[in-house]
Amino acid sequence: MIMTPEEWAERARGLFDVVEETGYTLDDLPGTFIWKQPLMNMPDAINYEHLQVPAYNGLLFTGPAGNGKHTLMRAYIQSLCRKEMSFENTVFVRLRTEDFSEEVLPSNEDVAAFVDGLFLVGENTGEMGILVFDQMDSYDRLPVVCNMIADNHSSGSYPSVHVICIAEDEDNINSELASVLLSCRCNSPTAKEREQYLQENLSWDVPDWETNEKLLKTAAIGVDGWTVKKIAEKTEGFSFAELAALVQYMKMEIAGRSTGSLSTLQYKVDEDMAEAFINLARRQKKASGGAVVYQAGFAGAAAMMAAAAPVSAEDVRKNRAKELTSKNDSERTVEENMELIDLVPTIAESEAKDRQLLTN
């Protein structure tokens, strides 16, 4: 039996929560977030009506993982609620893949009624409702979901409801929905943007502990023989999250050194260690089944030969390093990240030997 939108609204009501006044706003984000200023202008910082500029109260964040879609979503919600002075009276729901599975919504009619119900709850509970449709790439019956969001959002019946849709591949979102939302493409950074990010994050201010802790000194990390531009070139294809991981690994490495004095806060890592850190930070590509994709051919033959050979203590460390680097940053625990830092000398030495073999 197909449930009505009103019945789905009652069932969906338990998914909603109030927005807590915590975390960062759009104003707190660095300039590398190119959508910061346009979002700060929504929906009424400019007189849209007089300028005949389309006004949106819905957003579509798209782009590869690790480039700020969820950071922007959280900052936008905080900024919106603070501007409207409406935290306690704002209801919020974040829908994910499992909420649109065929087990939960077995028919197109169920999907349509469920989306209708979400808009009913968002409009009729509190002063403002925020619907976040996350992980949309993997929704069952995605075209139906897109059409229903678009129909409800553009109907004019739900003026208090703000819609945020998030997907990695923009092509998965049909034109009906894309046309009624402000499209915010969160692409991987260009070479210039990577260089800017590294310049901003490989130096930072710390208290002057030796003379006056109320004063600040600048700490900086570099790579022997490399400019920041070269690091940016070495990180081609990186997302902002991968750049952040690289900076964090370098900071953790110099924090573990016994400096003896904080009078000099200019640090260097050698080229081999920098290469190892870059490989640690790079997100591993995975096949559809979740297995790491390795190169075939000679590499595959070498792997089979190695598997049949006796394993040394050094090989154990190398294998453990490969196992940990095959995981995404979000999949590794804090303990595993610390273990990776400890394994960096092994990885760097191994890669140096490989490069030596190639040049001989």
* DSSP-assigned states of every residue in 71-82: HHHHHHHHHHHH
Residue 40 pLDDT? 87
Which residues touch 31 (CB under 8 Å, ≥6 apart)? none
Cβ–Cβ under 8 Å, residues 90 and 126: yes
Q: Helix, strand or coil for residue 170?
A: helix
How far is CA 3 from each of CA 8, 112, 114, 151, 155, rounded to the nearest angstrom? Answer: 6, 10, 8, 19, 22
Residue 116 pLDDT? 95
User: Please, what is the end-to-end C-alpha distance for the chain in angstroms?
Assistant: 73
Sign of CA dihedral 349, 352, 353, 354: positive
Give 262's pLDDT tier (boundaries 50, 70, 90): low
Higher pLDDT, 79 or 338: 79
The answer on pLDDT for 246 being more than 80 is yes
Radius of gyration of the chain (CA): 25
Higher pLDDT, 88 or 353: 88
Token pair recorded at residue 339: 């273990």
Share of the chain above pLDDT 70, in %: 73
Residue 260 pLDDT? 45
Task: Kindly state the average pLDDT of the residues 136-152.
Answer: 95
The answer on pLDDT for 128 being more than 70 is yes
Cβ–Cβ under 8 Å, residues 321 and 343: yes
The answer on pLDDT for 131 being more than 90 is yes
7-16, 77-86, 131-140, 316-325: which has the minimum mean pLDDT?
316-325
The answer on pLDDT for 100 being more than 90 is yes
Higher pLDDT, 277 or 293: 277
Q: How far is CA 193 from the centre of its chain?
A: 16
Burial 218-232 (b: 16+ CB within 10 A, else e): ebebbbeebebeebb
Q: Helix, strand or coil for residue 214?
A: strand
Higher pLDDT, 19 or 60: 60
Closest listed residue to residue 71, CA positions, set 184, 149, 202:
184
Question: What are the structural domain ranges in the chain?
Answer: 5-185, 191-359
Give 189's pLDDT tier (boundaries 50, 70, 90): very high
Q: Pairing state of beta strands 212-223 and 203-208?
A: antiparallel
pTM of the prediction?
Answer: 0.72
Rounded-to-integer distance, Cα 149 and Cα 147, Å: 6
- Edge to edge, what strands does the sheet with 266-269 contain? 203-208, 212-223, 266-269
Q: Cis peptide leading into 43, omega within 30 of 0?
A: yes
Residue 55 pLDDT? 61
Residue 206 pLDDT? 83
The answer on pLDDT for 18 being more than 60 is yes
Task: Kindly state the average pLDDT of the residues 72-80.
Answer: 92
The answer on pLDDT for 299 being more than 60 is no
Residue 298 pLDDT? 32
How far is CA 174 from each of CA 107, 111, 136, 181, 256, rounded to the nearest angstrom? Answer: 20, 16, 11, 11, 50
Half-sphere exposure of 177 (CA within 13 A, CB side): 23
The answer on pLDDT for 313 being more than 60 is no
43-52, 92-101, 214-223: which has the minimum mean pLDDT?
43-52
Q: Which CATH number fits domain 5-185: 3.40.50.300, 1.20.120.1200, 1.10.1060.10, 3.40.1830.10?
A: 3.40.50.300
